[in-house]
Amino acid sequence: MVVGRIQREPIEVEPFLKSYDMGVGSIITFQGIVRKTESSRELEYLFYEAEEKLATEELTRLLTEAKEKFNLIDALAVHRIGIVNPGEISLLVVVNSGHRNEGFKACSFIVDAIKERLPIWKKDHFVDGEETWH
């Protein structure tokens, strides 16, 4: 199974973990959490914007690539768009593999590829009213 999703709603981790076959070697998760500060400045929130259709297609491609490259059983990634507050999850990656080593490598590969390949942009909204696009 490969699942790539772009969504506006908060990411709930538990339902994704319950959907996996717990009889296999490992489930590796990564949760990208919005920090309270960026460059020593206090964040009010982050705003993510995306070309949703293209981002979803590329996310599915890179998860399929990771599944084949690292011999994964399942790969899932969910990226938030819209307003994401400090303490909330902006990115969830879950990989299910026969062995932990492949799982850790795959998870790292997926997170890096998402940042490099997906048409998703981030704007920092600071409490002082300034904004910065990334």
Closest listed residue to residue 45, CA positions, set 88, 91, 92: 88
Question: What's the domain range around 30?
Answer: 2-128
| Per-residue pLDDT at 24 exceeds 80 | no
Residue 109 lies in a domain: yes
> Model confidence over 86-108: pLDDT tens digits?
999 999 999 999 999 999 999 99
CATH at residue 56: 3.90.1170.40
Please give the pLDDT value at position 119.
Answer: 98
- pLDDT for 22 equals 64
Distance CA 83, CA 41 (A): 18
76-90: average pLDDT: 98
What percentage of the chain carries pLDDT values higher than 90? 88
Q: How far apart are CA 37 and CA 134, in angstroms?
A: 15
Q: In the structure, what pLDDT confidence band is assigned to residue 20 with cuts at 50, 70 and 90?
A: low
- Residue 91 placed within a domain: yes
* Contact predicate 55/6, CB 8 Å: yes
Give the predicted TM-score (pTM) of the model.
0.94
Residue 134 located in a structural domain: no
Per-residue confidence (pLDDT) for residue 18, from 0 to 100:
73
Q: Tell me how far apart the alpha carbons of residues 129 and 134 are, in angstroms, rounded to a whole number.
A: 16
